[in-house]
Amino acid sequence: MKRKMIFILLFYFWGQGMIHDAFGQGGGLMDLNAYRWRNRLLMVFSPAQDEPNYQSFIKEVQVQRNGLRDRDVLVLEILEKGESRLGKSPLKKDSAVFLREQFGIPPGYFCILLIGKDGEEKRRWESMGGLGVIFSVVDAMPMRQRELKVKSTF
């Protein structure tokens, strides 16, 4: 029993050390660990709000709020110019810069990242292909399949 407990604790703490830097507390920066196992994150990186891909994305997010909610997806808008947000809550400029650096998004670049509930990057898009494409990726994930089975039993 003691060996098992020691193994579990070692595995837990070792695993915690392997987590991507962006998912830790770094000098008051946004801690993405708070969303692990609860939400999927859709991170949209854009130079500014007037970027055409960004505008298309935001319009579609407004229309598809129920689809996002059903899939436990939160949207982070990370802008170089302008206010970055998680939903309606503003992000600190330092957090936006940190996330851009940690995920390797160069300046002036539009990109959408899908982060799974396990905290891992699942997919990256360099243009706006539509939330239907993103929903298809999410719906094909094993964890989402289990969620759907549980929902169908109620």
Q: Would you say residue 18 has pLDDT above 80? A: no
Mean pLDDT calculated for residue range 52-65: 96
**In the chain, where the domains are located:** 30-152
pLDDT classification of 129: cutoffs 50, 70, 90: confident
Average pLDDT, the chain: 84
The separation between CA 32 and the C-alpha centre of its own chain, rounded to angstroms, equals 8
Give the separation between CA 125 and CA 111, rounded to whole angstroms.
6
Q: Which fold has domain 30-152?
A: Glutaredoxin (3.40.30)
The separation between CA 44 and the C-alpha centre of its own chain, rounded to angstroms, equals 9
Q: Would you say residue 153 has pLDDT above 50? A: yes
Residue with tokens 């939903």: 87
User: What is the pTM (predicted TM-score) of this model?
Assistant: 0.79
Give the separation between CA 47 and CA 24, rounded to whole angstroms.
25
pLDDT confidence of residue 30 = 82
Residue with tokens 């243009």: 127
Give the torsion through C-alpha atoms of 15, 121, 111, 127, to 10 deg.
170
